Amino acid sequence: MNSEQNMEQFEKKVNIFFADKNILKQAFVHRSYLNENKDFNIGHNERLEFLGDAVLELVITDYLYRKYPEKNEGEMTSLRSALVNSNTLYVVGVDLGINDYLLLSKGEKKDTGRARQYILANTMEAIIGAIYIDQGYEKVKDFIYRHITPLVEKIISERSWIDSKSFFQERAQEIEGVTPLYKTEKETGPDHNKHFTVGVYLKEELIATGEGDSKQNGEQEAARKALEKKSW
């Protein structure tokens, strides 16, 4: 199946039909693809990703403001972060089969780990940017409402919107009278694709470890696991 047929298949899947087919195709072009395809006449998706990130944040902010009049600014900020973060966008991207349409270098195609998850999440933002450019605000809002905002109830029920690090610190100070200490146990990967393993300690005791593509994400996962281990 050629790329034009791929794009038609995706349009049918999301029920959005683009006036400019190239803007949709560009949303799937990773920078690495251009390094191996010098004559490809469409740019990579990073500018669309930049735009889509802002559009997504606006739509989600407006949604949360209207849906949860009882929640304060801090709660809505945490919920928004949970809805727009790379993990959530990756889940939505997998559900939409984004992986089937990506244009990647041979090297990137072989990587199916965390780096690919990050690419999928960024591509979701680029798709949102492309829909906004080609179809306008109401159409992109409808896309986000169909594919992303339905996850909010699951996020609330699983309490995954809560800042685990802050909550673990509160409980540790309240119950054991100590402040958690985070240490980077391991750091791997090149500068543009680092992977961190972080441990959280109470005094000298290692409670749990977490992994992430940043120290902050590793700390959050370590805190979440520590909360589970302590049954807090």
What one-letter code names the amino acid at 191? D
The verdict on whether 53 is a catalytic residue reads: yes
* Adjacent-strand bridge partners of 202: 205
CA dihedral 214, 220, 225, 226 (to 10 degrees): 120
122 is in an annotated binding site: yes
Check: CB of residue 171 under 8 Å from CB of residue 230. yes
- Residues 4, 36, 39, 53: which is the catalytic one? 53
Distance CA 27, CA 120 (A): 11
Q: Which pairing describes strands 195-202 and 181-188: parallel, antiparallel, or unpaired? A: antiparallel
The verdict on whether 142 is a catalytic residue reads: no
228 is in an annotated binding site: no
Check: CB of residue 104 under 8 Å from CB of residue 32. yes
- Residues 8, 75, 108, 125: which is the catalytic one? 125
170 is in an annotated binding site: no
Distance CA 232, CA 36 (A): 51
What residues act catalytically?
53, 125
- Give the residue ranges of the annotated binding site: 49, 122, 125
- Give the residue ranges of the annotated binding site for Mg(2+): 49, 122, 125
